[in-house]
Amino acid sequence: MCRHAAWLGAPRALTTLIHEPEHGLLAQSYAPRRQRHGTVNADGYGMAWYDPARTEPVRYRRAIPIWADANLPALAEIARSRCLLAAVRCATTGMPVEESATAPFAGGGWLLSHNGRVERDAVMDLADDLPESPCDSAWLAAAVFARGSAGLGLAAALADVVVRAGEKDPAARLNLLACDGTALAATVWGDTLFFHADQDGVYVASEPLDDRPGWQAVPDRSLLTATPDDVRVQPL
């Protein structure tokens, strides 16, 4: 379910997550190579970035296939930032297909995407406020953002929500990818995640965006944290 990717480091355009790589999110929307559940991610897409002129990140989300948006290529070329996040969606059966159900979700300056599925009963009591959508991913985002509001850091908030939700729903798949403009955090719980670091920063993605050497798989039940010059992985 879904594919997502993020960049943190020297300023780059969103097209480096979507169109430029041979296996970027555009290709992953119709031909993912490592997706374990679902075959096509055509139920919407979203992208977001941080602009120093704004206190909140900028988001652009559509409830249509990413390949059907004629405005996207030009927008992705000019949307440039040190911190980028984008996702394509394969909606869980029974979940709404609408912009409010499409990642990235935003709250308190944080951005979040979810690859997987979880019973809503496993996360509803973890959130303080109603989410913007009734979908499971929005409930997960609301729970993470609530912990951020309470003072937890990005990585600690993700880890707490994933472990609690996973205990309540053993069949859940809880790959979360989040950022705050200066750091990335991601969980691996039931699906794939990879990262690629170079001298300018780090990519984190559900599957490699290209065939360059250096992509590293993150083990299941792990928490990844990244700054532009450091990546760490620890068990959940």
User: Active-site residue numbers?
Assistant: 2
Which class for 18: exposed (0-12), middle (13-18), buried (19 or more C-beta within 10 A)? Answer: buried
Q: How many CA atoms lie within 13 A of 205 on its CB side?
A: 27
Q: Phi-psi bin for 73: left (phi > 0), alpha (psi -120 to 50), beta?
A: alpha
